[in-house]
């Protein structure tokens, strides 16, 4: 409407008509306002609808993360060695704590935590503060009874080891948040860890669940289980017998591994160190992480290589003195004896250093190195165990003048106990090397099992060579240095070893410090059980006196446990240990133990 004012004839006329520009302005303003509303509507309902829907959803939906259960670790018979269970964690919202001194005083006696520590945790400037994680159910119940405002309970998974410290270095450890820190717990972290679940609930502004409201539940997926090759009973017996010998021989510690040589299954793996309160598990799995100079047990590789290459004859004899000079060093047998005509079998059975060095010289450094590597003494096993060592084997180009004497008798090289047992398993298996196995399969919750791949067996020496060495090892137990390893009704094959410990700096050896070992298998005719025992600085320090009896105890238990029948010695084995004398023979003295210098 416009206001018009006209003048004329003394008469004034006022007309209510708005100016045109004002009309246009109002219309434009209205159009813009309407446009903004339409734009906003289009934005909210169309262009950005997802964002706004999500905002609204986040305001009324409460999300709860459901922790996944970590998978169990089972022995070969399905017995739990490690498993997780929900445990209560005590936490507080410090903003809701009305009286810190009273609350901390009340909680201190229940949780067993210092009152001052609790007071600090209750006074932090945060909405959430841990007071005690993964407490026992009884403790949680007592906390609940206190009914302290601002103190709450929630569930978290907690790792339990029902067999206490059994096989602890093998199983490993987990952190407070159930992450694997060492051992199999670390190696199979990805399989053992499950997938967390989630619960989404629609809640009103007061935080109450809206009946028939939106609800989404994604259950947590439990981690997979590990089915080991370890036998719980064998493991316990191995640790018990080893611990008893550590105490009896005042050793600093010991390693014992028991295997099924045909399949490569590790049945027991004990790692103990001496402690004033009795032997206790070591922090790491020493059987695969620590290397040691094997000493005389290494002679098997030299002899097997020499037989395979045809540089020694099983029946012919060689004149073996009790000392031999190589480069600038003189090597001796453990006991003095006059030079005698010995077969290679007698050299091994009596663990003669000089005889083995003579055989090694015939074989040559390149072939010695080749056989050491073929027997698996210079590479990590297929276990893939965290921190596993591949052994220390110098390349032939870096051998010194005396290496041709030290390496054949197991000095100047370093191996793990498991590597050395693997080499003897190759002899037990008729010359075929089978990789060790610690985990049989990974089993999902639905029962779907994934077999852990194992490299195919590989031939190291011929069947005839393995049979010949087998016979020599039988003789070493029957009449040689390993008689303490014999068990009733069974033919045991094995070899003793006593090696000096190198100084920590790497130059020279520690005075009076020895590692005593025994490696063997039973029954020699059809090996089903093999074991290695290594004792650190025992008294006496001879492997035949301290380690062989431990082997015998383990073998005696193992053949009963696994129902292994005794066998009969095949002719091929017997013929090697009792060769027909073709040359004049000087009776070889009984060398009780070898000790390389």
Partner 1 sequence: MILALRVLLTQGQTRVDSLETRVAAERKMVRAVRLEVARLEAPVRIESEAMTRLGMVLPRVVVPLAPIGVPSRSSGP
Distance in angstroms (rounded) separating the CA atoms of residues 273 and 234: 19
The phi, psi pair for 496, rounded to 5°, reads -90, 160
Q: Which is nearer to partner 1, 69 or 229 (CB)?
A: 69
CA–CA separation, 476 vs 468, rounded Å? 13
- In degrees, rounded to 5, the angle at the alpha carbon of residue 414 between the alpha carbons of residues 355 and 410 is 5
**Contacting residues for 465 by C-beta, under 8 A, at least 6 apart:** 304, 307, 308, 431
**CB-nearer residue toward partner 1: 461 or 552:** 552
Q: How far is the CB of 203 from partner 1 (least distance, A)?
A: 14
CA-CA distances (angstroms) from residue 331 to 311, 491, 594, 597? 22, 32, 11, 6
Nearer to partner 1, 223 or 360 (CB): 223
With a CB cutoff of 8 Å and minimum separation 6, the contacts of 379 are 373, 390, 391
Tokens for 189, please give them: 């972290």
Q: Are 485 and 497 in contact (CB under 8 A)?
A: no
**DSSP state, residue 508:** S
Q: What is the 3-state secondary structure (H, E, C) of 535-585?
A: EECCCCCCHHHHHHHHHHHHHHHHHHHCCCCCCCCCHHHHHHHCCCCCCCC
Contact 22, 30 (CB under 8 A): no
| Separation CA 555–CA 238 (nearest Å) | 10
**Rounded to an integer, what distance in angstroms lies between the CA atom of residue 133 and that of residue 113?**
12
Q: Name residues whose C-beta falls within 8 Å of residue 540's C-beta, 6 or more positions apart in sequence.
A: 249, 546
Q: Which is nearer to partner 1, 60 or 556 (CB)?
A: 556
- Dist. CA 353–CA 298, nearest whole Å: 11
Please state whether beta strands 449-451 and 439-443 pair in parallel, antiparallel, or not at all (unpaired).
antiparallel
Torsion of CA 416, 421, 422, 428, to 10 degrees: 170
The least distance separating partner 1 from the CB of residue 236, rounded to whole angstroms, comes to 4
Q: For residues 250 and 97, is the Cβ–Cβ distance under 8 A?
A: no
Alpha-carbon distances of 238 from 52, 235, 360, 380, 568, rounded to whole Å:
65, 5, 35, 24, 27
Quick check: 523 and 567 in contact, CB under 8 A?
A: yes
Smallest gap from Cβ 67 to partner 1, in A, equals: 12
CB of 502 to partner 1, least distance (A): 33
Q: Considering beta carbons, is residue 273 or 555 the nearer one to partner 1?
A: 555
Q: How far is the CB of 137 from partner 1 (least distance, A)?
A: 9
Question: How far is Cα 183 from Cα 189, in angstroms, rounded to an integer?
Answer: 10
Query: Strand, coil or helix: what is 79?
Result: coil
**Shortest reach from residue 441's CB to partner 1, in Å:** 19
521, two tokens: 């298998």
CA dihedral 363, 369, 370, 376 (to 10 degrees): 130
Nearer to partner 1, 44 or 210 (CB): 210
Cβ of residue 476: shortest distance to partner 1, in angstroms?
18
From CA 470, how far away is CA 424, in angstroms rounded?
9
How many residues does the structure list for the chain? 597
Interaction site with partner 1 (CB under 8 A): 69, 79-80, 83, 85-86, 160, 162-164, 166, 211-212, 215, 217, 232-233, 236-237, 240-241, 244, 486-489, 549, 552-553, 556, 566
- Give the nearest distance from C-beta 518 to partner 1 in angstroms: 15
Smallest distance from the beta carbon of 217 to partner 1, in angstroms?
7
Nearer to partner 1, 10 or 211 (CB): 211
- Compute the least distance from the CB of residue 486 to partner 1, in Å: 8
Catalytic residue among 249, 296, 352, 530: 296
CB of 159 or CB of 500, closer to partner 1? 159
Residue owning tokens 């298998």 = 521
Residue 296 appears among annotated catalytic residues: yes
Q: Between 172 and 391, name the residue whose CB sits nearer to partner 1.
A: 172
Please report how close the Cβ of residue 324 comes to partner 1 at its closest, in angstroms: 37
Q: Is 479 in contact with 592 (CB distance < 8 Å)? A: no
Select 410 or 549, whichever has its Cβ closest to partner 1: 549
User: Residue 310: which region, alpha, beta or left (left: phi > 0; alpha: psi -120 to 50)?
Assistant: left
Give the residue with the Cβ less far from partner 1, 347 or 535: 535
Could you give the angle at the alpha carbon of 569 between the alpha carbons of 564 and 570, nearest 5°? 120
Active site amino acids: 296
């Amino acid at each position: 409407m416009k206001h018009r004012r006209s003048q004329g004839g003394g008469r004034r006329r006022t007309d209510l008509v708005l100016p045109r520009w004002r009309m246009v302005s109002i219309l434009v303003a209205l159009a813009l306002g309407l446009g903004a509303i339409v734009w906003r509507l289009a934005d909210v309902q169309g262009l950005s609808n997802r964002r706004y829907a999500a905002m609204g959803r986040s305001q009324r939906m409460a999300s709860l993360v459901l922790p996944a259960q970590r998978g169990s670790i089972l022995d070969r018979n399905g017995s739990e060695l490690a498993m997780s269970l929900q445990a209560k964690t005590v936490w507080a919202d410090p903003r809701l704590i009305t009286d810190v001194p009273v609350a901390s005083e009340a909680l201190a006696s229940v949780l067993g935590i210092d009152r001052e520590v609790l007071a600090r945790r209750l006074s932090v400037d945060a909405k959430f503060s841990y007071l005690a994680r993964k407490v026992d159910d009884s403790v949680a119940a007592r906390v609940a009874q206190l009914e302290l405002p601002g103190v709450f309970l929630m569930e978290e998974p907690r790792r339990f080891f029902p067999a206490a410290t059994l096989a602890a270095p093998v199983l490993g450890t987990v952190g407070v948040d159930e992450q694997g820190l060492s051992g199999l717990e670390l190696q199979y972290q990805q399989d053992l860890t499950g997938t967390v679940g989630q619960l989404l609930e629609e809640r009103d502004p007061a935080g109450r669940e809206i009946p028939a409201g939106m609800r989404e539940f994604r259950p947590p997926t439990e981690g997979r289980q590990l089915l080991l090759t370890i036998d719980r009973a064998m493991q316990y017996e191995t640790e018990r017998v080893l611990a008893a010998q550590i105490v009896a021989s005042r050793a600093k510690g010991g390693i014992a591994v028991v295997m099924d040589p045909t399949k490569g299954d590790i049945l027991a793996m004990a790692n103990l160190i001496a402690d004033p309160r009795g032997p206790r598990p070591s922090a790491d799995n020493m059987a695969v992480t620590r290397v040691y100079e094997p000493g005389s047990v290494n002679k098997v590789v030299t002899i097997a290589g020499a037989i395979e290459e045809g540089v020694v004859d099983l029946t012919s004899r060689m004149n073996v003195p009790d000392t031999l000079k190589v480069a600038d060093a003189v090597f001796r047998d453990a006991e003095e004896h006059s030079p005698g005509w010995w077969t290679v079998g007698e050299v091994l059975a009596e663990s003669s250093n000089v005889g083995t060095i003579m055989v090694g010289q015939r074989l040559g450094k390149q072939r010695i190195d080749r056989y050491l590597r073929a027997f698996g003494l210079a590479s990590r096993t297929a276990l893939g165990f965290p921190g596993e060592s591949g052994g220390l084997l110098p390349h032939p180009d870096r051998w010194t003048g005396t290496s041709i004497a030290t390496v054949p008798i197991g000095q100047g090289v370093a191996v793990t106990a498991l590597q050395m047992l693997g080499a003897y398993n190759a002899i037990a298996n008729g010359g075929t090397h089978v990789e060790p196995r610690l985990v049989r399969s990974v089993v999902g919750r639905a029962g779907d099992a994934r077999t852990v791949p194992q490299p195919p067996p590989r031939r190291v020496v011929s069947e005839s060579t393995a049979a010949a060495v087998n016979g020599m090892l039988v003789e070493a137990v029957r009449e040689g240095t390993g008689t303490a390893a014999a068990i009733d009704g069974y033919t045991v094959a094995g070899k003793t070893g006593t090696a000096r410990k190198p100084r920590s700096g790497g130059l020279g050896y520690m005075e009076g410090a020895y590692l005593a070992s025994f490696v063997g298998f039973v029954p020699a005719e059809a090996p089903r059980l093999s074991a290695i025992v290594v004792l650190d600085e025992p008294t006496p320090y001879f492997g035949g006196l301290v380690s062989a009896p431990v082997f015998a105890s383990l073998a005696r238990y193992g053949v009963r446990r696994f129902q292994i029948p005794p066998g009969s010695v095949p002719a091929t084995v017997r013929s090697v240990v009792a060769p027909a004398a073709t040359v004049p023979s000087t009776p070889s003295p009984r060398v009780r133990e070898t000790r390389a210098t």
